[in-house]
Amino acid sequence: MYCHHCGKKRTDDAVYCSQCGRLLAAEENETASVSSESTLVVLETAAAIETRRAGTIESLSVPAGVYRGKRRGSAWAWLLPVILLLVTGASLFSYYIYQAGMNDRVVKLQLEARTSALEGKYEVAQAKLKEAAEARPAFASVQKDLEIVAMAIELSRSVAAAGKQLEEKNLEDAELTIEKAKNELHGHSEPIFLSMKEQLRGYAVKLNVLKLTAELADLNTVDELGAKLSIASQLEGEEAAAVKEQIIVKIVEISIKEADALLKKKSYSDALAITGKGLLYAKDEVKLINLEKKITDAQAAYERDEQRRLEHAMQQAAAEDLKNQTAAVEVVQIESTLDEFGDLNIEGELRNAATRPIYSISVKFIVRDAEGNEVGSGTAEATPDYVEPGESIRFTSTVYGVYIQNTTVVVDHATWYLD
């Protein structure tokens, strides 16, 4: 065994140290007490023990028991709270670090879920959000994101179903599915739904295009096709442009067919109305433009011919009127016979040369000899009294006391009334 003060080896039965003179029994009791106290707090380091030994050696003038007791008591009085404070602080810091790391992990999962959802990977986003919810079940934002993603998954199935129905030309079911999805999306402005809304808009356009295409076969008038063209003009996309072109082509075909038929009937105004209506929808269509010019030229030529015919008719009417007024009675033949008493018996045939019936016809005639000298005259009433155009009438008369052979009877004047 050794002295606890100076470290000198001693015998087991020694009471005082042969080197420093300290009481060995008291030192053993004190050492046992100190050893018991150390095991309750923390083991001292070798450096601390050496320091304490050095302090003991330097203070040999102080009574050993009193000095060592105060030294050990005052050290543990401030050392123990410090150690406890350090341990508690370390534990709290470690807990803070753990919780902060957990929050960072949840935020990272949310961001990754957002990226996946915006890419249309809704199931992947849902799995990440469920992992985040298990880590932080009290986070309201995570629960809200889970609800939105679940709704997106259901809506994506509806959108996919609408696309399949359109491909299968099941238009009624597709229309119901699209309308239902639109109603469910109403009021939702979250970015996750933007692609779905755009896809639904595209499907709605495709639905209208398919409906218009199906209806075209039963439309046979420009007005009906024009109404459908107005609907198609409000749609966007290549398919909508194609159906618009299809409608315009049919409008042009119908317009040309109807206008040609009216042109043959010389119904120029109606034909131009048809081409004009067609050009409202297809203003740059060359076939319609050329047909409209053809109709316009034909109408102008017809009007010129009609004007000429009208002028001719007016001239003819004037000539006829003049004839009716001045030459309605035409002499066909006149025969005369001189009887034994020297009287000249005259018979004449006349014709109605007018274009209208005449009546109350009378003639005045002159009798001339061979040299042209007037040797007699007279008047006669023709019969029948009423004569249609082109019909013949006759008259008879006698000139008394002529006594000359080879005479000529000439109708000098006739009167009549036009019906």
CA distances to 41, 55, 66, 83, 84 from 77, rounded to whole Å, are 11, 18, 17, 11, 12
Give CA–CA dist 304/291, Å, rounded.
20
Per-residue confidence (pLDDT) for residue 171, from 0 to 100 = 86
Give the model's pLDDT for residue 56: 32
**Which of 150-159, 226-235, 290-299 is predicted least confidently?**
226-235
- Region 136-156: mean pLDDT is 87
Q: Which residue has the higher pLDDT, 95 or 26?
A: 95
- Mean pLDDT value of segment 177-185: 89
Residue 96 has pLDDT above 80, yes or no: no
Of 93-107, 166-180, 228-242, 356-370, least confident by mean pLDDT is 93-107
At 392 the pLDDT is 94
Give the confidence band of 308 by pLDDT, cuts at 50, 70, 90.
very high
- The SS3 of residue 189 is coil
8 Å CB contact between 382 and 393: yes
* Residue of 12 and 289 predicted with greater confidence: 289
Using CB atoms within 10 Å of the CB of residue 182, give its burial: 0 to 12 exposed, 13 to 18 middle, 19+ buried: middle
Q: State what percent of residues in the chain have pLDDT above 70.
A: 79
Tell me the residue ranges of DSSP E strands in 246-342: 329-338
| Residue 37 amino acid letter | E
Max CA-CA distance within the chain?
A: 228
pLDDT recorded at residue 330: 92
The pLDDT > 90 percentage for the chain reads: 27
Other CB atoms within 10 Å distance of the CB of residue 324? 18
Mean pLDDT calculated for residue range 137-144: 85
pLDDT band at 12 (very low <50, low <70, confident <90, very high): low
Average pLDDT of 41-49? 29
Q: Find the mean pLDDT for residues 126-142.
A: 84
pLDDT for the residue 398: 93
pLDDT at 38 over 60: no
Residue 105 has a pLDDT of 80
Domains in the chain, CATH or no CATH each: 110-210 (no CATH), 219-294 (no CATH), 327-418 (2.60.40.10)
Q: Is the pLDDT of residue 245 over 90?
A: no
Candidates 354, 340, 411; CA nearest to 388 is: 354
| pLDDT of residue 26 exceeding 70 | no
- Averaged pLDDT, 370-383: 92
pLDDT band at 361 (very low <50, low <70, confident <90, very high): very high
Could you tell me the pLDDT band of residue 52, with boundaries at 50, 70 and 90? very low
